[in-house]
Structure 1
Amino acid sequence: MKSLSVNFNDIDKMASYAKALSSEDRIKILKITANSNPTVNELSESLSIPLSTTAMHVKVLEECGLILTRLEPAVRGTKKVCFRNVDDIFIDLNLQQEENKHRCHYINMPIGSYVNCEISGTCGMANENSHIGILDNPQTFYYPDHYTAQIIWFEKGFLEYRFPLDILSFGDLTSFDLSFECCSEAPSYNSYWPSDITVWMNNVELHTWTSPGDFGGRSGKLNPGWWPHSSTQYGLLRSYKIDSSGTYCDETLVSSVTLKDLEVTKSPYLTVRIGIKEDAENSRGINIFGEKFGDHPQSILLGIEYNSKI
């Protein structure tokens, strides 16, 4: 025998158990099947109710898994034998307890902590103190101090990051929430400079967003004092959510890609790639902002939502 438990995370199942136990006759059937395996005819006789009514009660109990039935040979044809399938049912009505099991673990990945890149065209990076390396030279992206970058820009290519997933040893994944500040990359800045910026997870393309421009005209709220006023100043915050129903950008469904498509159990980390596709219709580059540049005090922020097992 086995035990069943149900809580507010599965309202349909809770309702099916409640329905099954809402009839005195069905409760009597559970009592009878605790010590014997009666046929439907025998149950009808024991309860002194019509055979059709007994069959209906048996069907309700079987549909929610409280009893099992099996057809066996009889003197004439077959007979349906009933077996108890469950010893205990635990119905947890403690809403707060269930809510507390839902967790979100955040990782704020520095924009310079990429593990792979392909860069071409206009490009560069800087931290809060100075430019890093040589402007418009892709070799700069392999300098050791690229890890300190607080703003990165390039015309074509991508940056790739790896986020550890060890937190999932404590629970079951329900969604990823990804956000970062970005904009197009224009000479100086240009509010009308559309660029198609694409996001991938685990090599699966999630969505391409067209940035309207490269923003300036005022200092970014977090920019250091030495940063030139004639350069890019700030971007827009893009927020993605990927769950079992699809991919959302700023709460709008933009893709049918789900968590299942990402196959997260095959690797100890999640790969996130941000860049400009080779065949992008609007290929005008990207600026990515860290927590000390632009308007938003964050880098590439990943929220891992899960239901805790603890």
Structure 2
Amino acid sequence: MENIHGDKKYIKALEKNLPFFQALASETRLKIISLIQNKEMSIKELSAALNISSAVVTKHINILEEVDIVESYSQPGVRGLLKLCKIKTSEVQVILNNNYEEDTRKFTEIDIPIGAYSSFKIFPPCGLASKDKLFGVLDDPRYFASPNRMDLSIIWFTCGYIEYPIPTYDINFSNLDEIEISLEVCSEFPGYNNSFKSDIYFYLNDMLLGKWTSPGDFGDRKGVFTPSWWDLGSEYGLLKTIKINGNGVYLDGIVLSDTPLSEFFKEDIDNLTFKIECPVDTPNPGGINIFGKNFGNFDQNIKIKCLYK
């Protein structure tokens, strides 16, 4: 997939996207999509509806999952675990003009390791890990203050906040048009629970950008970059992209607020901060996992992209 706006995706007609088009080139897979459009169904239910074996249904589901059309999760059933399938993407638009919406603006990109935070207030359960091992002792927030934390690849906590300084020396504020912040995150549940919601709040310079409700803590399969030794449940998150420009704040293309970019720089442009918070007094207090390089589905740290007019 090329661009994502909420649950709508845009895909260009390029050879690299052939697996997506091949996934749809099957009468059986199109029937599966039709059956689960408005409801979740188990592998067994799909097998009965299509009159084919559960093993064949599973193969088709795996193909649809690989291109993000369908997602599945397991929950306890009468006889062991029950695998439920649902639509992941509600709309896909195919772009035949492959130069469409290409951004030619100049930009500065800043890479912030997830361990490069400047302040925090964390409550257990919580923890830290590098790509090779756990960092410190589980559920002890004191380890968050360790000076040798720059190589962290995953951070998790139940409630509290963590704040990152954004270096400003390479940013041309006089010509700044838009800031884009991307990171991989999900809820935090002991072990994992793909349907465990969590309200996650984002701030720029202590001003609220908006709230995103994570749908779950994902551990039903191995994260693409998650190391083999990791066995604590959370395997991957969702890549979220926040954009702030003259029209307001957007999360994956969905409007969060109409506060323009200029409002966030009224006080002090020499000290920019990005804060992530999971308060306890919110409708869905489900904590957070923050994934960095060498963990999850996206091999990246927190990325700050400053685009110019």
TM-score (norm 1): 0.64
C-alpha displacement of 1:278? 4.0
Aligned equivalents of 2:251, 2:205: Cα separation in 1? 18
Identity of aligned residues (%): 38
Structure with greater helix percent: 1
Whole-angstrom distance in 2 between the partners of 1:273 and 1:219: 28
Alignment of 1:29-108 (within 5 A): 102-108=105-111
Superposed, 1:244-283 pairs within 5 Å as 244-263=246-265, 266-283=268-285
Asked whether the 8 Å contact 2:117–2:164 carries over to 1, the reply is yes
5 Å matches for 1:1-310?
102-169=105-172, 171-228=174-231, 230-263=232-265, 266-307=268-309
Instruction: Give the CA deviation at 1:102.
Output: 3.1
SS at match of 1:179: strand
In the TM superposition, what whole-angstrom CA distance separates every residue of 1:182-217 from its partner, at most 9, and x where no partner exists? Answer: 000001000011000010000000111100110012
The alignment yields a C-alpha RMSD, in angstroms, of 1.8
Contact 2:211–2:256 (Cα < 8 Å) also in 1? no
Number of residue pairs matched by the alignment: 208
Alpha-carbon distance in structure 2 between the residues aligned to 1:100 and 1:256? 22
Give the conservation status (yes or no) of the 8 Å contact 1:264–1:270: no
What's the offset of the Cα at 1:277?
2.3
| Distance in 2 of aligned mates of 1:266 and 1:208 | 24
Q: Which consecutive unaligned segments of at least 5 residues does structure 2 have?
A: 1-101
Structure 1 position 117, deviation (Å):
0.4
CA 1:162–1:106: 2 relative to 1, 3 Å: same
Query: Given the superposition, is the C-alpha separation of residues 264 and 109 from structure 1 closer, same or farther in structure 2, using an over 3 Å criterion?
Result: farther
Q: 1:158 to 1:187 in 2, by over 3 A?
A: same
Q: Is the 8 A contact 1:149 1:290 kept in 2?
A: yes
2: CA distance between counterparts of 1:130 and 1:298? 18
Call closer, same or farther: CA 1:145–1:265 in 2, change over 3 Å.
Answer: same
Instruction: Give the distance between the partners of 1:252 and 1:191, measured in 2 at CA.
Output: 23
**SS of the counterpart of 2:114?**
coil
Change (3 A) 1:304 1:269: farther
Structure 1 segments of 4 or more deviating over 4 A? none
- One-letter code of the match for 2:131? E
SS at match of 2:170: helix
Q: Residue type matched to 1:111 in 2?
A: I
CA distance in 1, matches of 2:181, 2:172: 20
Structure 2 Cα separation of the partners of residues 141 and 100 of structure 1: 38
Task: Measure the CA separation in 2 of the matches of 1:186 and 1:117.
Answer: 20
CA contact (8 A) 1:168 1:306 kept: no
Stretches of structure 1 that go unaligned for 5 or more consecutive residues are 1-98
SS in 2 for 1:125: strand
Letter in 2 for 1:182: V
Q: Which amino acid aligns with 2:143?
A: T
* 1:262-305 per-position Cα deviation (integer Å, ceiling 9, x unaligned): 01672323210012124221111000000110000111111011
8 Å CA contact retained: 2:124, 2:139: yes
Per-residue CA distance 1:45-91 (angstroms, 9 max, x = gap): xxxxxxxxxxxxxxxxxxxxxxxxxxxxxxxxxxxxxxxxxxxxxxx
- Report the residue type matching 1:122 in the other structure: P
- What secondary structure, in the 3-state scheme, does the structure 1 residue paired with 2:175 have? strand
Call closer, same or farther: CA 1:264–1:168 in 2, change over 3 Å.
Answer: farther
Query: Whose radius of gyration is greater, 1 or 2?
Result: 1
SS in 2 for 1:139: helix
How far, CA to CA, are the matches of 1:170 and 1:153 in structure 2?
33
Superposed CA deviations along residues 156-187 of structure 1, whole A, max 9, x for unmatched, are: 11110011122234851101000100000001
Q: Which amino acid aligns with 1:179?
A: S
